[in-house]
Amino acid sequence: MILMVKNLSKVYKSGTGVRNIDFSVEKGEILAILGPNGAGKTTTLKCIIGLRKPNSGSIVLSGKYSYLPEEKNLYRWATVSQMLKIAENYTKDFDFEKAQRILGDLRIPLHEKVANLSHGQLTSLYLSITLAQNADLYVLDEPTWGLDPLSRSYILDEIRKIPLDEKSVLYTSHIVEEVEKTADRVIILKSGVLVEKGVIDEIKERYVAIRVKKGERMRGFLYKETDEEDVYIVKKDGNSGTNYEPASFSMIVEAMMRGEIG
């Protein structure tokens, strides 16, 4: 076990944050935290690495971590090459050649100033620095946000390679399809509450879609409404009746994110 989080709560004056969440990250696995904006994903990561002090709960992190923050702020006056040199000077076990390789593959010019980079290019630069560090756990906050499709695919491939060296990844995302292709396990947050967790295929096995007459209430998550019927995502418990069909992972997550519980 590289990370253990127990009963973590961090509540701000506005009422947002996370409440009593539990999860772990094992050595050599990728765990994704999935949820919409404001779900508590970034708060959770900041509590883990010590940038926020939890109100309660415990966090045990075993080993070194490398962190990609939500806001990708780097020295605007520096060139890309200078930014790598700065990272090398201030970071132990920094693989300068790996950072250069990632930037070359993503076609980020080394002579360009940080101030002139697009949002996607800035994210790519920060990712090259983060992934070039020798860490036991890579903590990545929305690592593909703002990337073009080719760059996103490349970065996801790099993330998938990390467990090959018995290292682990904890990352946040709101892109369901991306998480389904990348993560070994997932936790789903909604308004600071953990609503589901586990292996994706096992989560898919726990839920089905049920069609009912318009206005008929079900104990589950309302997925879709039409003029004649409503579709709910409910737990498969043997009492669901015959009018049900398999639910895809994206259907399950979308229903949970809507937050409309029958």
User: Can you read off the two tokens belonging to residue 111?
Assistant: 């002579």
> Do 231 and 209 touch, CB atoms closer than 8 A?
yes
User: Which DSSP symbol is given to 261?
Assistant: B
Q: Which pLDDT band holds residue 241 (cuts at 50, 70, 90)? A: low
- Tens digit of each residue's pLDDT (9 = 90 or more) over 150-181: 999 999 999 999 999 999 999 999 889 999 99
Q: Is 64 left (phi over 0), alpha (psi -120 to 50) or beta?
A: beta
What does the domain layout of the chain look like in residue ranges?
3-191, 204-258
Residues 6+ apart with CB under 8 A from 165: none
> Do 233 and 246 touch, CB atoms closer than 8 A?
no
User: Can you read off the two tokens belonging to residue 232?
Assistant: 């709910």
The secondary element (H helix, E strand) that includes residue 19 is strand 17-25
Q: Which pLDDT band holds residue 78 (cuts at 50, 70, 90)? A: very high
pLDDT mean across residues, the chain: 91
Q: Which of 100, 157, 85, 107 is nearest to 132 (CA)?
A: 100
Q: Which pLDDT band holds residue 238 (cuts at 50, 70, 90)? A: low
Q: Once rounded to an integer, what is the mean pLDDT over residues 106-117?
A: 94
Please give the CATH number for the structural domain made up of 3-191: 3.40.50.300
- Tens digit of each residue's pLDDT (9 = 90 or more) over 128-149: 999 999 999 999 999 998 899 9
Least confident piece of the model among 41-50, 51-60, 200-209, 237-246: 237-246
